[in-house]
Amino acid sequence: MIKKCPGCNKQKEMRSNQKYCTPKCKKTFENSQRSAPKEKKEKPNNQNYKPPQGKVNRPQHLNEIAAAYWDKIAPTVVERGHLNILSEDSFAELCDLHSRLMDINMMINMGTVQKCDDCGAEIKIPGNRSLLQVDDKWSINDGIETKTFKESALSDLKRKYSKQFLDYCKAFYLTPLSNRGNFGLDQTESEDPEEDFLKMGGK
């Protein structure tokens, strides 16, 4: 029967179950299908994006340290388009965390004063020791007291607040690694080194 070969587009005598007149035509047609240009997907035009309208004002409930941090950082974040009326509450939380970390660091650096058990004199322990606290334990069997050190409450708060603070900083592109895209730097690193530091000694 007479059929049109899709490879050479000619009318030729072929069997009823035959699609191509020759193997060469079959290969030519298949290659033309593979090399056919793919339709380009239209990329979203970011130039048409309009950020939410409305002036971003510093919340009145922020304390002095948090307010100062807002006034220092907010103009740059607004200019980049990362701070608007939809994200101002999250940015206020970032400023509040900064204030809390400043308070904790101040308390740690002040140190502590303890009395000597033997003479009663006051001994000032340097601030860095505030990261640890003495854990007294009594042995029920032999009545012996053992003293060990464990993480202090201030150290625990500092670690938790620091993790939250860095998470918020990443959300607003305020860490060195997240800034690479803004300044056209190399983005070959897949993970933030801060993550490895925060995972040390904990899960």
* pTM (global) more than 0.85: no
Question: Does the residue 196 lie in any domain?
Answer: no
Going by pLDDT thresholds of 50, 70 and 90, the confidence category of residue 129 is low
DSSP letter at 42? P
Pair (25, 93) in one structural domain:
no
Token digits of residue 99: 């204030």
For residue 129, give both structure tokens.
Answer: 């020791």
Range of the structural domain that residue 160 is part of: 61-134+145-178
Contact 129, 112 (CB under 8 A): yes
SS3 116: coil
Over the stretch 131-187, which tens digit does the pLDDT of each residue have? 666 666 666 666 666 667 777 778 888 889 999 999 999 999 998 887 765 555 444
The Cα–Cα gap between 194 and 176 comes to 10
pLDDT in tens, 70-109: 999 999 999 888 999 899 999 999 999 999 999 988 887 7
203 located within any domain? no
Domain count, the chain: 2
Start-to-end Cα distance in the chain: 75
Q: CB–CB of 71/58 below 8 Å?
A: yes
Identify the band that residue 66 occupies on the pLDDT scale cut at 50, 70 and 90. very high
Query: Are the beta carbons of 150 and 132 closer than 8 angstroms?
Result: yes
Both tokens of 97, joined, read: 């965390």
48 is written with which tokens?
């048409």
Report if residue 91 sits inside a domain: yes
Contact between residue 198 and residue 163 where contact means Cβ atoms under 8 Å apart: yes
